[in-house]
Amino acid sequence: MSDEDISIDEKRVYADKTGTTTAFVATGVGITRVDVSDDIVGEFSLVHRGTATDAASADGRLAVATTDDVLVGTGEEFEPTGFGPADAVGYHDGLLAAGEGRIARYDDGWVTLAELDDVRAMDGEMVAAASGVHRLDGTHVGLTAAHDVTTAGGPLAATETGLYYLANGWMEALDGDFQVAANRVDGTAHAATGDRLYERTDGEWSAVELPIEGTIADVAYGEATYAVTTDGTFLVNAGDGWRHRSLGLPDVTALAVV
């Protein structure tokens, strides 16, 4: 069901709700804030201009990687950190960033943890890079050509050859060229190839039927499950199926929920 034409009654319901979820979408033109109430995608606005490559949140904090610097803020205003151009950001014992061949943590300034090229994503203490999955100190822990990694409900890695979970070594969960992996501590997980989204429930993976076509750029969790496509369609599933709304933004790279 599309939210392109939200009914007047729905808009009133949305306006009356105080418990909205705020999501931030990193795009080729900047950072967009999206307000979501249950499964209704409400107002959205561009809050920072520039090329954004990644976004991450923790405890109400938001970090955004851009082609100029790593920015931090509340979503209304952003401050530069002096990292320089970044490809990925994350939070684990503080703010993390990767770009231009290094991984660093912010501690009254940026402290380099490791030298590593072509980082694509980071989560917890793991990093996805062209050379595979690494720890923050650069130690290679397996696989090759990793596009994404997630750790909340047990490590999952999206690679060019498949989706893998960490057990007694890396075990293949699904075959294919995976670009996105996301999970949460309750065992819920999602993963995406260029043309298909998968969901894990009760330990089993199955394909998800979405109401739109498009390549999933990222998946995030909050009061519901949120996803965004590379061409700027925002999706939400609060338990009654997927609803969507086009944001009209190009080159989407990441999604973070605060």
Per-residue pLDDT tens digits for 203-232: 999 999 999 999 999 999 999 999 999 999
What's residue 2's pLDDT?
47
Q: Which single residue is written with the structure tokens 């980082």?
A: 119
What's residue 11's pLDDT?
38
CA distances from 164 to 25, 120, 161, 193, 195 (A): 26, 16, 9, 13, 18
How many C-beta atoms surround the C-beta of residue 157 within 10 A?
A: 28
Please give the class, per CATH, of domain 8-257.
mainly beta
Q: How far apart are CA 39 and CA 224, in angstroms?
A: 8
Question: 249-258 burial, b if ≥16 CB within 10 A, otherwise e?
Answer: beebbbbbbb
The β-bridge relationship of strands 30-37 and 40-49 is antiparallel
The pLDDT-based confidence of 77 (bands split at 50, 70, 90) is confident
Using DSSP's 3-state secondary structure scheme, residue 10 falls into helix
How many C-beta atoms surround the C-beta of residue 212 within 10 A?
A: 12
Model-level pTM?
0.91
- Mean per-residue pLDDT, 233-244: 96
Mean pLDDT for all residues in the chain: 92
Is pLDDT at 8 greater than 90 in this prediction?
no
Tokens at 237, concatenated:
């599933």
Per-residue pLDDT tens digits for 154-208: 999 999 999 999 999 999 999 999 999 999 999 999 999 999 999 999 999 999 9
Using DSSP's 3-state secondary structure scheme, residue 118 falls into coil
What's residue 179's pLDDT?
98
Q: Which single residue is written with the structure tokens 């082609």?
A: 67
What's residue 80's pLDDT?
97
Contact 212, 204 (CB under 8 A): no
Residue spans per domain, the chain? 8-257
Per-residue pLDDT tens digits for 89-133: 999 999 999 999 999 999 999 999 999 999 999 999 999 999 999
CA-wise closest residue to 206 among 172, 159, 174, 162: 174
